[in-house]
Chain A
Amino acid sequence: MSPIQVDVISARAMLLWPVDVIIRPERLVSVSAADGGRGWIGSAVEGIRVTVAYFLNLLLYAAPLTLAGFGVGDGATAPDALAPTLAAVAGDADAAWAFTVSLSTNSAFLLAGTLLTFATFHIGVLLSGSSKGILISLRAVAYSTGVYLALMYTLVWYVATTPRTATAGDLLLWMQAAFFYYFIDFFDAGLTLPGGRPDAVDASGLSGTEQGILILLALSAVYYFYVLYAGARIGHGAGRIQALIATGFVLIAPVLYVVGTILLSLYT
Chain B
Amino acid sequence: MSTTDNSTTDGTATTDDKPTGPSEGSDVIEPPADSDQPSIRYHTEPLLTPTLALMGSVALAALLGIGYVWNDPEAVGGPELAELVIYGIIILASLLLIRLSLTLLVLWRTRYTVHDEGFRTEYELAYHSKSREIPVEELRGQERERGRFETLFDCATIRLLTGGTDSSLGFVEFVHVPDPDLASERIDEVKRRHEVLDE
Q: A residues touching B (Cβ–Cβ < 8 Å)?
A: 22-24, 32-34, 36-39, 42, 203-204, 206, 211, 214-215, 218-219, 222
A38 and B99 form a contact (CB under 8 A): no
Q: B residues touching A (Cβ–Cβ < 8 Å)?
A: 77-78, 80-81, 83-85, 87-88, 91-92, 95, 98-99, 102, 164-171
A42 and B166 form a contact (CB under 8 A): yes
- Can you report 11 A-B residue pairs in the complex whose CB atoms are below 8 A from each other? A22-B95, A23-B102, A32-B170, A34-B168, A38-B165, A38-B166, A203-B77, A211-B83, A214-B84, A218-B84, A218-B88
**Nearest CB on B from A42, distance (A):** 7
**Nearest CB on B from A18, distance (A):** 13
Grouping DSSP codes into helix (H, G, I), strand (E, B) and loop, the B interface class, with mixed when no group exceeds half, is helix
A215 and B87 form a contact (CB under 8 A): yes
Bound: A133/B170 CA distance, A: 20
Bound: A36/B87 CA distance, A: 40
**Nearest CB on B from A33, distance (A):** 3
Bound: A24/B171 CA distance, A: 21
Q: Which of B84, B85, B99 contacts A24 (CB 8 A)?
A: B99
B88 and A219 form a contact (CB under 8 A): yes
B91 and A23 form a contact (CB under 8 A): no
Residues of the A chain whose Cβ atoms lie less than 8 Å from the Cβ of B85? 218
B99 and A33 form a contact (CB under 8 A): no
| Contact (A37, B95) CB under 8 Å given A204-B80, A219-B88 | no
Q: Which of A23, A206, A219 contacts B98 (CB 8 A)?
A: A23
Bound: A13/B81 CA distance, A: 37
| Contact (A203, B80) CB under 8 Å given A23-B95, A33-B169, A34-B169 | yes
| Contact (A23, B99) CB under 8 Å given A36-B168, A37-B168, A39-B166 | yes
A37 and B77 form a contact (CB under 8 A): no
Most central of B80, B91, B98, B102 by chain A CB within 10 Å: B80
Residues of the B chain whose Cβ atoms lie less than 8 Å from the Cβ of A218? 84-85, 88
Bound: A23/B8 CA distance, A: 46
**Nearest CB on B from A105, distance (A):** 32
Bound: A38/B167 CA distance, A: 8
Residues of the A chain whose Cβ atoms lie less than 8 Å from the Cβ of B99? 23-24
A33 and B170 form a contact (CB under 8 A): yes
B98 and A211 form a contact (CB under 8 A): no
Bound: A203/B88 CA distance, A: 16
B84 and A37 form a contact (CB under 8 A): no
Residues of the A chain whose Cβ atoms lie less than 8 Å from the Cβ of B167? 34
Q: A33-B170, A211-B83 are in contact. List 13 more A-B contacts (CB 8 A).
A: A22-B95, A23-B99, A23-B102, A33-B169, A34-B167, A38-B165, A204-B80, A206-B80, A214-B84, A215-B91, A218-B85, A222-B88, A222-B92
